[in-house]
Homo-oligomer: A and B are copies of this chain.
Amino acid sequence: MNPPSHIIGKSLKRVDARGKTTGETKFLTDLNLDNMLHAAPVYSQIPYGQLLGIDISKAESDPDYIAFFSARDIPGENQVGVILADQPLIASETVRYIGDSVGILIAKTDEAAQRLAKLVEVYVKPFTPVLSIDESRDATENFIHASNLACEHQVKRGDPEAAFSLADHIIEARFETPFQEHYYLEPQACIAQRTSAGGIFIIGSIQCPFYVQKAVARALALPFSKIKIEQAPTGGAFGGKEDIPSETCTRAALAAFILKRPVKMVYGRIVDVQLTSKRHPFQMHYKVGVSSAGKLLAAEIQLEENAGAYATLSSVVSYRSAMQAMGPYVIDNISVKSKSYYTNLPPTGAFRGFGSPQAAFGHERMMDIIAATLKMDPVEFRLHNILKLDTKTLTGHHLKVSVGAEETLRTAVEASGWNSRSESTDPRWKTGYGVALIHYGNCLGAAGWFMDGSGVKIKIHRDGSIAVAFGLIEMGQGALTVVNQMTAEALGVEPSRITVLPTDTEQVPDSGPAVASRNVIMTGNAIRDAASKLLPVLKEAAAELLQCDLKEIKIERGLVTNSRNAGSLGFTELANYLYLSNRPMDVLGWWHVPELEYDAATGIGEAYFTYSYATHIAKVKVDTLTGLVKVAKIWASHDVGRALNPAGLEAQIEGGTVQGIGWALTENFKLDLGRVLTDNLTTYLLPTAMDVGEIESIIVEDPEPEGPWGAKGIGEPAIIPTAAAIANAVSHALGKPINRIPIIPEQILNKIGG
């Protein structure tokens, strides 16, 4: 047994807290370069049509006007699709949503760029826009791309038809979930510069620097080696800076490359909301067969996703929602079809959970509906079917380690007093309790295995200070702090020695995207790999100094000791000796997820290498007079494998839960013929501290052997069950099924009235 760590499992304070609270941290908007120009997008005001022409005459007569660039100025490929090649960097023939960029206007000031962009006349011959999933699916002509189906994934396992025939009950229901706007505090922002060597250097508020590098290489026909992307401190992302910076940065880079001057582009809020990606709205149809005893026998599930004008990351959303469509339960006969349809609306893309919250809304509402049919307690019904060790997921993945689903349910039930929950007797305020369980496949999964590797570079300086470069990013989630902690633990030194560097594409190999709750697992394992190379060198040097065998050396808390003769030295002294003995102390670490057995045609196999599990229990109060739903409390129990930094974990759980509450209740995203109506905080209501009630985080540790120190991902699991738990609680309070979110007062009042 290892002794308990003084680092892992401890709530180290956030290393970026000081800079962010004092204002010393410079966000992109704080950064200006000499001789810099400013850019603003010029975009279509028509949701769908043929681009006939662009007239810049009103803009170009302005003394602050510098240039306008359109598709014809792109030296490389006019293509920015992250997965599918369906999206021009700048639209040249067809515009597909209000916000589709047809050019970029460059001016001397930001104010002028925005003003002059509005003076550019964009002539479009309008087509009839496709505004819903149904319209898109049912269209027989006038397709938005070659087809209106952006992508699809499926699972086909067992024999659902036969299994349905044996079922005591077959229950069907439809569910709907809406758009969600990321509403990161800091909008899209970047500065692109041409380098002396004729390359491009971009600094920006970016979630996936390696994606941006690829996008610039493609559009500007430059080698990757001449493109450097650095992440500026980033004020929130939530997926919204996964794909979009590939567009914005590459457009700015195009201008900087041609003009040979730095070009800054920062979206204003209204532009940001109109132009950038959202969470996919889902329409879901569930048909599930169960035995009277409460055993899930068969399921047939259709998931339909509104992809908006371009696919961007729809394929990932479609894949993940299919793989998790029936949740953390044993079900051996299942058919899932998940399809993303193009519409003439803003593109939907990456958003915390990647389709998981939507699928969770489907399967967890379904579980409650079935339990009600069977007249079973929702928890009891779930326990009949829950994933355990030595069971198989819906894709047939045989689980052999780290299955904490039941433990999250047990702890949440206990903490919430589920079994002694009481109904309200208040005639106006109805109380309800709802439970929701999820499993979440960590990292990119079988469909993205080829890019599911990440790196670090650890540099020990002669003064014993240590710099760590990693390939993923800090976007508010606490990555810098946990990377610091993991490095300190791996090397046996104090966290104060460690500086985690800003991420750029030069320091480490392409580490894939900072998504899918990957950071702790990928970076942590890469750190362990680097440490496995460093420690023998450190110990060899220490053994020289302490005149003993290297096996007798221990390095802990920055103290190097020799178990034989009790000699010791400080880590600083050791580092200086390493320098003086001419040992290079830069080491690269790398980790990629284990190979997965998976068949894409059937969707059967190891969809992901491991899963996080969670249970949320929501207690709500519904005001039957106004229709308002108040969240009284959420008990959020998460199996994270191992809690590396409990305070950081709780912050993630609370943040995710709040974002789930917003999506469930207050964030009512509205469009009118493709134009976003809710483009500011007056109309798009993020939950405030007054709206979220109490959140109690419960941490379950069922270690994952492949995770660093047993850890699994938490960034996304935190949001996934929340909305389903709330909808189950409201359904329970009203005694009527709530199968659609957001649960705005109108829906409640209609239900009560109906």
List chain A positions with a Cβ less than 8 A from chain B.
Answer: 16, 18-19, 24-26, 31-36, 196-199, 217, 223-226, 233, 260, 449-453, 455, 457, 459, 461-463, 465-467, 469, 497-499, 501, 506-510, 579-582, 584-588, 590, 592
Contact = CB atoms under 8 A, between A and B. Distances in A.
A281 B525 CA distance: 57
16 contacts: A16-B197, A19-B197, A19-B198, A24-B198, A26-B196, A223-B465, A223-B497, A225-B467, A226-B499, A450-B582, A461-B510, A501-B506, A506-B507, A509-B585, A586-B588, A587-B588
Identify the 7 closest CB pairs spanning chains A and B, nearest first.
Answer: A223-B465, A32-B34, A224-B461, A225-B465, A584-B590, A225-B499, A509-B584
Contacts of A509: 459, 584-586
Given A224-B463, A466-B225, A499-B226, A588 B584 contact: yes
Given A197-B19, A467-B506, A455 B584 contact: yes
A462 B25 contact: no
Contacts of A466: 225
A187 to B, nearest CB: 19
A449 B582 contact: yes
A19 B196 contact: yes
Chain copies in the assembled complex? 2
A450 B581 contact: yes
Contact of A579 (B226, B508, B510): B510
A225 B585 contact: no
Contacts of A455: 584, 586
A212 to B, nearest CB: 14
A522 to B, nearest CB: 12
Contacts of A260: 24
A462 B223 contact: no
Contact of A34 (B31, B507, B585, B592): B31
Given A223-B465, A224-B465, A462-B510, 12 more contacts: A19-B198, A24-B196, A24-B260, A32-B35, A34-B36, A196-B233, A223-B461, A449-B582, A457-B586, A467-B506, A508-B586, A588-B588
B196 A499 contact: no
Contacts of A452: 582
A171 B375 CA distance: 117
Contact of A506 (B18, B451, B459, B590): B459
Contacts of A450: 579-582
A453 B584 contact: yes
A457 B260 CA distance: 29
A257 to B, nearest CB: 12
A35 to B, nearest CB: 8
Contacts of A18: 198
Contact of A453 (B25, B582, B590): B582
Question: Max chain B CB contacts within 10 Å: which of A34, A197, A233?
Answer: A197
Contacts of A579: 450-451, 510
Contact of A461 (B225, B467, B501): B225
Contacts of A196: 19, 24-26, 233
Contacts of A587: 588
Question: Max chain B CB contacts within 10 Å: which of A452, A461, A507?
Answer: A461
A223 to B, nearest CB: 3
A23 B626 CA distance: 70
A528 to B, nearest CB: 15
Contacts of A217: 463
A465 B507 CA distance: 16
A200 to B, nearest CB: 12
A511 to B, nearest CB: 9
A233 B224 CA distance: 21
A537 to B, nearest CB: 12
Nearest to A15: B197
Nearest to A511: B584
Question: Max chain B CB contacts within 10 Å: which of A16, A198, A459?
Answer: A459
A136 to B, nearest CB: 32
Contacts of A224: 461-463, 465, 467
A225 B584 contact: no
A449 B498 CA distance: 29
A459 B210 CA distance: 14
Nearest to A578: B509
Contacts of A498: 225
Contacts of A497: 223, 225
Contacts of A198: 18-19, 24
Contacts of A36: 34
A66 B498 CA distance: 34
Contacts of A582: 449-453, 592
Contacts of A462: 224, 510
Contacts of A16: 197
A499 B474 CA distance: 28
Question: Max chain B CB contacts within 10 Å: which of A497, A498, A509?
Answer: A509
